[in-house]
Structure 1
Amino acid sequence: MSTPSAPHEPVPGPSAWPDFSDLEPDAARERFPVLNAAPARSIAQDRWERIVARAELPEPLERVWQALTEPEHIRHWLAECRGTPARKQQEYLLDFEDGEFFQCRTEEVTPPFGADRALYRHLWRWAGVGPATRVTWELAGVAGGTQLTATEESLNPPSDWRSWNGNGWPGILDQLAAYLRTGTTWRWPWRRMGPYVQIELAAAPYDAWDALTTPGALRHWLQRRRGDLTPGSTLVLVMGDASGIAEMTVHRHVEPNQEFPSYLPWLEFGLRRASWPQELGGKLYIEPAGLDRSLLQIFVDNWENVPAAVQREERRVVAGFFRDAMVRAQQLVGPQPSPARPHGWA
């Protein structure tokens, strides 16, 4: 004889269901946050750097002051000076006449006026588009002459700033000393490197590099007619006006996160124009410049491969092209890029 089965329990109605309202996504997230719900974030990534160089000059303070602040003297030992430096809030150029220059703005001027001290402070930007740094010239009368101290200060400069600028400042003071002592004209010497252009971008390095290396971006900021960044490829670049074209051959392209120690991207290239018997070398690279900002840089060298008769004018063409290219790159990167595009006739 079989045992009767137990009757089924009735299914509870909706009013008897448990309360799952606390498992709704928003409520659950509030009561029981997901792991790393509020991750840590960087709020600053800055470095401040300073370079100080000093020289003892066997010249009276007033004469050293004139050499530092009067265009007729500056043009002999440093660069052609276009403007009036010794005037507060005045802008002027220190022009090396090969396409490279400093754009300057005077901040403070304290002439000697018979005293034993003087001060001259200004900002400057390389090629007019690089990050601004502050330069302070301090003069002090000492026994037998003048003590001149030059200080340059920068926030988030290029990684090689201390080695490059730091090694350069003693040479600048030596040029001034030689001019004061003998009248020797020290113009910016012909160099096997340059032009060098740098510009700040409103994006982290990886983001900026990705934005600038797409085919459409290359067509805009480098004025690429054809070619890409594949190693071995040659990009044909339209220089603009009647300057013709340049050919940029990609020798090596290191993508982000590929190479120790920085893991930053960079491009090694060769540059050639019709009037050059051989190509120049070059490098395009990027690095951090504070939080969510980067510094894009381009550098050309091996000018000994170009005939001396055309070097000066060709340097001007190349410097002007890369300076304009950097400005276009800056327009492309950031939250509010400019809608401007190159003219069709460029």
Structure 2
Amino acid sequence: MTQNPAAVVDEETFSVRRTIRIEAPVERVWSAVTEPEHISRWFGQTVLAGQGAGATGTMTFPDYGAIPLRVEEYDEPHRITYCWGNDDAQDARPDVLDPATSTVFTFTLEAVDGGTQLTVVESGFERTSDPRANLASHGEGWTLELDKLVALLEGDA
């Protein structure tokens, strides 16, 4: 499996960034980060109503429950942006995406020799109930989850 650097937390911009390399074509990586049946194999159990910008749904994690999800930007096969309500402040209405407490993450894909470079940037942590703790948690989360994606797409899972 390709070894990639861990996610980087930026406390000044309240963002998390991770760039990885995957030995798989862009089209395959695109499917893995946009199609619910593929996302569910490496990230969280995902359900989306519709495809493209404006699609809404949920992502469910064990021991956490379902969180609301919406596709904000869709530029196949280069860039997709999701908004999700994964902050504890959402607990009162877990089925409603509240932009005031939500974060946004974007996957950007670029073809490189022998595969794909995938960058994820998640921002908006300053709007969450505990910005620094959420930054740290998501920094660890993106490292773990994207390692699962690499293993899946490179055949090690």
Q: TM-score range by the shorter chain?
A: 0.7 to 0.9
2:105 to 135, 151, 154: 135
Could you report, residue by residue, the CA deviation over 1:129-161 in whole angstroms, capped at 9, with x for unpaired residues?
Answer: 162001010000011100000000013431322
Aligned to 1:164: 137
Counterparts in 2 of 1:1-346, with a 5 A limit? 48-84=13-49, 86-112=51-77, 118-126=78-86, 129=90, 131-154=101-124, 155-157=126-128, 158=130, 159-182=132-155, 184=157
List runs of 5+ in structure 2 lacking aligned partners. 1-11, 92-100
Deviation at 1:127, TM superposition (A): 6.8
Deviation at 1:167, TM superposition (A): 2.0
TM-score (ref. length: structure 2):
0.76
Q: How many residues align?
A: 133
% identical aligned pairs: 29
Higher Cα Rg, which structure: 1
Aligned to 1:311: none
Aligned to 1:262: none
Q: Which contiguous aligned blocks of 4+ residues in structure 1 show a shift greater than 6 angstroms?
A: none
Paired residue type of 2:109:
L
Report the RMSD for the aligned CA atoms in angstroms: 2.1
List runs of 5+ in structure 1 lacking aligned partners. 1-46, 113-117, 185-346
Measure the CA separation in 1 of the matches of 2:66 and 2:87: 5
Paired residue type of 1:102:
I
Deviation at 1:68, TM superposition (A): 0.8
Deviation at 1:123, TM superposition (A): 0.5
Is the Cα–Cα contact under 8 Å of residues 137 and 151 in structure 1 kept in the other structure?
yes
Decide which structure has greater strand share: 2
Could you report, residue by residue, the CA deviation over 1:44-79 in whole angstroms, capped at 9, with x for unpaired residues?
Answer: xxx741110111000000000001111111111112
Q: Which structure has the higher relative contact order (CA within 8 Å, separation 6+)?
A: 2
TM-score (ref. length: structure 1):
0.36
Aligned to 1:22: none
